[in-house]
Amino acid sequence: MNLLTLDHFSGCVNEPFVTQLDGVSLEFVLVEARSIETKAHNAVRRPFSLLFRNSAAVLFPQKIYPMHHARVGEVGIFLVPIAYEKAGFLYQAVFN
């Protein structure tokens, strides 16, 4: 398994990542992919953050979601709900 980096996701902004929950297909649209500043010089990878939006009327719990994207492939992403806006709930994933 390759170590995921910001480069894997930066070209996927505004594109859906799909997961299955209880047999139902759900889309989480990647709305932001950005690096996180750090002073650590011995990090295996540069930390980064992803923000996803889901337009469902329900809040999904924080957990690892098996996501699929055409270019990134299959990857488990730990999503944490962080905000609600008109377009839906926002979920964040942080990679250290």
In a domain, 72, yes or no: yes
pTM: 0.91
- The whole domain housing 76 covers 6-95
Predicted confidence (pLDDT) at residue 1 exceeds the cutoff of 70: no
Residue 43 has a pLDDT of: 67
In a domain, 71, yes or no: yes
In a domain, 69, yes or no: yes
Taking only the tens place, the pLDDT of each residue in 41-57 is: 676 778 999 999 999 99
Strands 24-35 and 63-69: unpaired
Terminal Cα-to-Cα distance of the chain (whole angstroms): 16
In a domain, 1, yes or no: no
In a domain, 12, yes or no: yes
User: Into how many domains does the chain fold?
Assistant: 1
Burial (CB < 10 A; 0-12, 13-18, 19+), residue 47, is middle
In a domain, 39, yes or no: yes
Which residue's structure tokens are 């889901």?
Answer: 54
Taking only the tens place, the pLDDT of each residue in 2-58 is: 789 999 999 999 999 999 988 999 999 999 999 998 776 676 778 999 999 999 999
